[in-house]
Amino acid sequence: MKKVVFITGTNSGFGWLTAHSVAALGYTVYATMRDTKGKNEAKAIELGNVPNITVLDVEITNNESVTNAINGIIEKEGRIDVVVNNAGYFGGGIAESYSVTDVQEMFDVHVNATWRTIKAALPTMRNQGEGLIVNISSGLGRFSAPFMTVYNAAKFAVEGLSEGLHYEVRPLGVDVAMIQPGAFPTEIFGKTKTGSDESVVAGYGELANIPAKIGEGMGQLFEAVKPNPQQVADAVVKLIETPKGQRPLRTVVDLATGTFTETANKAVKEQYDNFLTAFGMQDLLK
């Protein structure tokens, strides 16, 4: 059966590669991006010319835009099988420089938008008794590195949504899974935002220079390790191709520092199983 797949943030990076990779399997792909008649017009046209891909203009921070898009897909296709929540942007700099509005914007794109697509697609997936939700998290959703604090916090929230929901809906035939990428040379670093309250930066003295050094270190890492963003798209494809009920909650894709994340995942999983058992939820582990 040709699966119907909905992917956000497909104008670049992981989303662009994932759309191509999934479409190459013969699945029906609905690739979303915003501003398809403006700054993303060329990308929308190019992606829309790929067999099995339909490009949709969706604003993921708008309830009506997301709901209308997913309802339209369900009405046309009669089902929706996979949702890949990929859209996002990177945030760095001194945490104190982030205003409340800055934090709200970060969470709206990474957390609320993820929940919007889930809320729109989950009823149909439940009725089908089958479905897959893939949320692109990060190793920084497991541990919080300094000078990326607000971005990390948003990814922590994605982890929390995904982990609890994974156990709630798996008995209904719906799998929730996360990809935890490390650093990859994609366009996301060209979309980096910093806090809007620059008045606090001077008070940090030499510490204010660290974010720039992080960027330099990341460039050296890319040169040494040469991580390929296609690996993330391949991990999404592997989840789609894995039979339901057998998909892992977390998949780490990180050549450089992934052992850190994998070790943390394993340790937490052991204690998490004990926690569910202690509270009488051991059947959810099956």
> Quick one: average pLDDT of 258-269?
94
Q: Which pTM does this prediction carry?
A: 0.94
Cα 105 from Cα 99, distance rounded (Å): 10
Average pLDDT of the chain, as a whole number: 95
| CB distance 146 to 99 below 8 Å | no
Gap between the Cα atoms of 199 and 257, Å rounded: 34
pLDDT at 244 over 80: yes
Report whether pLDDT(265) > 80. yes
What pLDDT does 225 receive? 79
Residue 278 predicted with pLDDT over 70: yes
Cα-atom radius of gyration of the chain, to the nearest Å?
A: 19
Task: Give the pLDDT of residue 189.
Answer: 64
What does the pLDDT read at residue 255?
84
Q: How confident is the model over 106-132, as pLDDT tens digits? A: 999 999 999 999 999 999 999 999 999
pLDDT tens per residue, range 151-166? 999 999 999 999 999 9
Give the chain's largest Cα–Cα span: 59
pLDDT above 90: residue 185: no
Catalytic positions, please?
A: 151
Over 70: is that where the pLDDT of 188 sits?
A: no
Domain 4-258 listed as CATH 3.40.50.720: yes
At 233 the pLDDT is: 98
User: Over the stretch 27-86, which tens digit does the pLDDT of each residue have?
Assistant: 999 999 999 999 999 999 999 999 999 999 999 999 999 999 999 999 999 999 999 999
**Sequence-ordered list of residues with C-beta below 8 angstroms from that of 81, at least 6 positions apart, any chain:** 3, 4, 5, 125, 128, 130, 131, 132
Domain spans, the chain: 4-258
